[in-house]
Amino acid sequence: MAFRPLHDRVLVRRVEEDERTAGGIIIPDTAKEKPQQGEVVAVGSGARGDDNEIVPLELKAGDKILFGKWSGTEVKVDGEDLIIMKESDVLGILD
């Protein structure tokens, strides 16, 4: 990929959810909510602290994460829909 986020930003690919409910009902695209789970594709070098030193990010490429419903900005990179957001928008890492 020819994109590297700057500072404390991360590039995330949404994880697609099932198209059926537990009871087997198929959910149409118009009724689906955007998933709030994703996989980190790339991370920036880190944010500058008060002492002007770079503080590295806790996230790394490949981490599965949860993020807020309205977090980040949708971008298209190499024809793929991705989200760029600050590390502080990430709610947690899924194990």
Model pTM?
Answer: 0.76
Q: Is the dihedral of CA 46, 48, 49, 51 positive or negative?
A: positive
* Mean per-residue pLDDT, 43-68: 89
What percent helix, strand, coil does the chain show, rounded to 5? Answer: 5, 40, 50
Domain spans in the chain, listed from the N-terminal domain onward: 9-17+28-59+68-93
* Mean per-residue pLDDT, 11-35: 71
Q: Per-residue pLDDT tens for 62-90?
A: 999 999 888 899 999 888 899 999 998 99
Percent of the chain residues topping a pLDDT of 90:
32
Topology of domain 9-17+28-59+68-93, per CATH?
Answer: 10 Kd Chaperonin, Protein Cpn10; Chain O (2.30.33)
